Amino acid sequence: MTASRLAASGDRIDRSRLVRFEFDGGSLTGFAGDTIASALLANGIDLVGRSIYHARPRGIVSAGPEEPNALVRVVWPSGVSEPMLRATTVPIEDGLRVASLAGRGRLETTTDPGRFDAANRHCEVLVIGAGASGLAAAEAARDAAPADRVFVIDAQPALAGPEVQPDTTALGIYDHGYVTAVQRHPTPTTDGRLWHIRAKRIVIATGATERPIVFANDDRPGIMLAGAGATYIERYGVRPGERAVIFTTNGTTDAVAATLGAAGVEIVATVDARAGEAVVDTLGDDAGRISGVVITSEGAAPTTVEADLLLVSGGWNPNVALWAQARGTLRFDERIAAFVPDGRGPGVPIEAVGAAAGEIEGIGELRPLWVVPPHGESGGDTSDPWIRHYVDLGRDATVSDLRRALGAGLTSIEHVKRYTTIGTGIDQGRTSGVVTSAIAAAILGQEVGAVGVPTFRPPTVPVSFAQLAARDRGALADPIRTTPIHPWHVANGAVFEDVGQWKRPRHFPQADESMEEAVLRECVAARSGVAVMDATTLGKIDVQGPDAGVFLDRVYTNTFSTLKVGSCRYGLMCRADGMVFDDGVTSRLAEDRYHMTTTTGNAAAVLDHLEEWLQTEWPDLRVRATSVTEQWATIAVVGPHARDVVARVAPGLDLSTEAFGFMTWRDAVIAGVVGRVFRISFSGELAYELNVPTWHGLALWKALIAVGEPLGITPYGTEAMHVLRAEKGYPIIGQETDGTTTPQDLGMGGLVSTKKDFIGRRSHRRPDAARADRKQLVGLLPTDPTALLPEGAQLVSLDADLATTPVPMLGHVTSSYRSAALGRTFALALVKGGRDRLGERALAPLVTGTVEVEITGSVLFDPESRRRDGEPPA
Amino acid sequence: MLLVPCPWCGPRAEIEFRYGGQAGIAYPKDPDGLTDAEWVEYLFLRDNPKGPWRERWVHTAGCRRWFDVTRDTLTNEFLG
């Protein structure tokens, strides 16, 4: 094949704008408007890669998204790259770097630097495809709907006019008129845009794709779909060869022949299946390019003609992928020997028009010819004569593979697809799909329509993950929530952890401290001096209304209607299945108002839970629940010296144990701001949780640090908080529990009322909830006090035979820490029948060796709670 | 992605909603009066019909209201 640029013609290129790009390291030029494929042909480059498995030389087959061969890696001047694109769909631009591929690309290993976005569009009518029939449909739609409510997209660059959204390919049709589409380079600064379109009516005007005919050595460079040959001449001013053979089954090649003739291409033979003629084989030159075509006519001996271009038309397949995705049915139309839209699917009205509906212009009479059987030597050096009859060039799948699949008993076209991988390549069966069905039908002795085609699924063209993510990447993937005190944490070297969307300080290392050292220091401060923690992230829900008490009695396992105004109570919440859902301290602010707190990560779920029960089961209750998490900054002041510190920021507040007892709260002026002080403790130490309006959170924090400085006030993070609470056996919902844990399993049966109904109570009466071997919360003390168990470690009995699997499991470690207060390591665990095993030993078999542990009660520090009012008398 | 008919906000994209499963499963008036099997039925067992069925949605990213709607599980069409 000797392709070259013609002196004239090419309505898509701008000959006044020369474009320089690189192909496989060499510098080439083309014109603005060229695709990589047309520019390569214009430069006489017809061998563009090797095939994926057989390493056969391959050329450009098509001029569109059906291209199975010409796959390239592309790097744009901006640095954005794509590992595998079809050379027929990518426009060239200055500085573009293109590399040929052997059938497949390599995933990029670096972050996609592309800048992608997304947009929404709602319309009365969506027209997909701006060919003649699409434009006519759009014109008609504009008569009935406002012009701006008719949205027309087209996969090609801007040609049709300003009312068409160019470069935009529909990817998929979903329920209720939802269509996704991808637009390449919508603006100079955006690499791509994902369109979310919602249409009341959809017109599919996606045209048709020419299909090949399968014959021996049908994959050589220089063998091209006939229409593509004409496209290169008319659109790009590129002559794809000098001596052409046309192999056709239908009338559409008449126009191709005229175009070739006008461009000076010599047509050395027209092989017309309708006249009983066929191409049975091709010959190649040293590089594998086509050099000759072997032709038979019914009853005559094969003849060979010299040619550098073989243009093939097996007919045209309407592009029905979108129609079928929308659950429209297909029927095989014998007139054009192709699948056409039949009954439309459910949902919004969808209509196919033009070639997509099977109206192929100029097709005339068609005689189906799918595959030309091998003649004489076409098997070459192998005994299988079908080994060079390529069906799917992108997959190197041949008739031989197809026969093997059918011979193995795979009769469903879906199974054939999966076994042979035909149709799973980048072109998604655009060239191979119907041909495969027809060959399978012939072998199976069935009608093509009965065999059908594999299910069409989105996306219709490959689309990168970065494009799908659009702007929802990196910092924009999910909101990041920070507390008003966050800037101080950052300035003071906090190491953060993510808790839901929140950034929480995990610990505050000093100088060269390791995390372990920092956490031990922070714990010591909380147990022997004073420490502060930013607890703002705690979920807070304002529950108001005359029936608030009744409501909370139904939501919590324990009773809140009897709680006195000014008091706080720890509560447990279950779901209807009886499993623990959340916990937290809820305080009564007034007769008809409670301040509920929830686990940080569960706040939204708890509010949803409350709303669901209020709205769907108890609409008679006069209660409203509102999130106030972000309205209050919460700071825990913890430790034997906590009272001294709080006294300095809230001088008007009587902090004596008699006046302000454990589990009560008070209004107070704190650092000059009206707020609330709660005497609750998540560490067992004397502790106050100060709440001020969020705006004042940072100022209060700084005030506490300042007044506490003489007392060595120490900020601490979530890790120390976890150690302190675990020493006291306080569970964390979601860490000690896993959705199969009841309050009784946690040893909190005392918080489960027997006097009222609440969500989940009936489930606690199921026999399963009373099983003696349920996993129960216990403490673990490794025999070696320095051994730190990994969280999640499984526990087995002392006499377990570790060689015989599966080894019966006793339970698992839920939390594990080094404790400054205990001077050793410890853990919490869920252990089968754990409370009956106290004092027993068990084993944790680890990769690094087996650790022996003693099973203990879950409260390992200050079990009598003597420290909650401050340092107890010695 | 469905277009869910919120009775308060009108048709909105499915991502604004949370699904609530079968509608009309009331919390039993007297849980203690139920056998374990009946309680399990309330908790876990739901119909799975092909065709129209009544289901619940909550417009979590909108008005936050729960509502019931009939949807054909075969076609996904909302029938009111």
A351, β-bridge pairs: A203
> What is the secondary structure of A779-803 as a DSSP string?
EEEESSTT--PPTT-EEEETT--TT
Which chain B residue is nearest to residue A344, measuring alpha carbons? B75
Taking the CB of residue A854, how many other CB atoms lie within 10 A of it?
A: 16
Q: Residue A380 has what pLDDT?
A: 53
Say yes or no to pLDDT of A1 above 60.
no
Tell me which of A289-293, A682-686, A803-807 is least confident.
A803-807
> What is the secondary structure of A524-547 as a DSSP string?
HHHHHS-EEEE-TTSEEEEEESTT
Please provide the size of chain B in residues.
80
Q: Residue A802 has what pLDDT?
A: 87
What is the separation, in whole angstroms, between the first and last Cα of chain B? 18
Residue ranges with strand state E in A660-702 = 665-670, 673-678, 687-693
- Report the alpha-carbon distance of residue A853 to residue A848 in Å, rounded: 15
CA-CA distances (angstroms) from residue B19 to A513, A612, A760, B23, B66?
48, 12, 21, 11, 10
Tell me which of A57-66, A107-116, A388-397 is least confident.
A107-116
- Report the alpha-carbon distance of residue A335 to residue A337 in Å, rounded: 6
The per-residue pLDDT of chain A, averaged, comes to 95
Q: Tell me the pLDDT tens digit for each residue of A411-421.
A: 899 999 999 99
- Report the alpha-carbon distance of residue A318 to residue A337 in Å, rounded: 10
**A767 to chain B, minimum CA–CA distance in Å?**
8
DSSP at A491:
H
- Pick the closest to residue A610 from A642, A581, A630 (CA basis): A581
Mean pLDDT of A459-477: 92
Q: Are strands A97-100 and A71-75 parallel, antiparallel or unpaired?
A: antiparallel
Q: Residue A163 has what pLDDT?
A: 86
Tell me which of A199-208, A489-498, A800-809 is least confident.
A800-809
Taking the CB of residue A120, how many other CB atoms lie within 10 A of it?
A: 10
A827, β-bridge pairs: A780, A816
Q: Tell me the pLDDT tens digit for each residue of A493-541.
A: 999 999 999 999 999 999 999 999 999 999 999 999 999 999 999 999 9
- Pick the closest to residue A760 from A543, A548, A555 (CA basis): A555
Q: Residue A378 has what pLDDT?
A: 47
Q: Residue A159 has what pLDDT?
A: 67
Residue ranges with strand state E in A226-313 = 238-239, 243-248, 266-272, 277-284, 290-297, 303-306, 309-313
For residue A374, cis peptide bond before it (omega within 30 degrees of 0): no
- Pick the closest to residue A558 from A401, A405, A758 (CA basis): A758
Query: Is the CB of A576 less than 8 angstroms away from the CB of B27?
Result: yes
For residue A475, what pLDDT band results from cuts at 50, 70 and 90? confident
**B49 to chain A, minimum CA–CA distance in Å?**
18
Q: Supply φ then ψ for residue A780, to 5 degrees.
A: -130, 135
Query: Is the CB of A198 less than 8 angstroms away from the CB of B3?
Result: yes
A615 → closest Cβ in B66, B75, B76: B66
Mutate which of A175, A757, A762 to disrupt the B interface (most B C-beta within 10 Å)? A762
Tokens 């569009």 locate to A121
**A626 to chain B, minimum CA–CA distance in Å?**
12
Which chain B residue is nearest to residue A604, measuring alpha carbons? B60
Assigned token pair, A257 = 């022949």
Task: For chain B, say whether A446 makes contact (Cβ under 8 Å).
Answer: no
Q: Residue A79 has what pLDDT?
A: 87
Say yes or no to pLDDT of A379 above 50.
no
Query: Is the CB of A608 less than 8 angstroms away from the CB of B74?
Result: no
- pLDDT per 10-residue tile (average), chain B, 80 residues: 96 97 95 95 96 98 97 94
- Pick the closest to residue A10 from A34, A28, A29 (CA basis): A34
Sequence-ordered list of residues with C-beta below 8 angstroms from that of A739, at least 6 positions apart, any chain: A579
Q: Tell me the pLDDT tens digit for each residue of A77-127.
A: 988 899 999 999 999 999 999 999 998 999 888 888 889 999 999 999 999
- Report the alpha-carbon distance of residue A400 to residue B41 in Å, rounded: 55
Select the more confidently predicted residue: A146 or A699: A699
Mean pLDDT of A703-725: 98
Q: Residue A88 has what pLDDT?
A: 96
Task: For chain B, say whether A122 makes contact (Cβ under 8 Å).
Answer: no
- Pick the closest to residue A776 from A735, A824, A828, A827 (CA basis): A828
Q: Tell me the pLDDT tens digit for each residue of A136-185.
A: 999 999 998 898 899 999 998 876 677 899 999 999 999 999 999 999 88
Helix (H, G, I), strand (E, B) or coil at A417: helix
Query: Is the CB of B43 less than 8 angstroms away from the CB of A577?
Result: yes
Angle at A277 between CA A262 and CA A374, to 5 degrees: 120
- Pick the closest to residue A359 from A137, A164, A157 (CA basis): A137
Assigned token pair, A692 = 């001020």
Say yes or no to pLDDT of A8 above 90.
no
A311, β-bridge pairs: A224, A246
Which chain A residue is nearest to residue B65, measuring alpha carbons? A615
Which residues, numbered 182 to 241 in chain A, qualify as contacts with chain B under a Cβ-Cβ cut-off of 8 Å? 198
Query: Is the CB of B27 less than 8 angstroms away from the CB of A617?
Result: yes
Q: Tell me the pLDDT tens digit for each residue of A183-195.
A: 988 888 889 999 9
Quote ipTM for the complex. 0.97
Q: Tell me the pLDDT tens digit for each residue of A279-338.
A: 999 999 999 999 999 999 987 889 999 999 999 999 999 999 999 999 999 999 999 999
Q: Are strands A665-670 and A673-678 parallel, antiparallel or unpaired?
A: antiparallel
For residue A474, what pLDDT band results from cuts at 50, 70 and 90? confident
Amino acid at A49: G
Contacts of B64 in chain A (CB under 8 A): 611
Say yes or no to pLDDT of A585 above 60.
yes
**A165 to chain B, minimum CA–CA distance in Å?**
23
Query: Is the CB of B75 less than 8 angstroms away from the CB of A346?
Result: yes
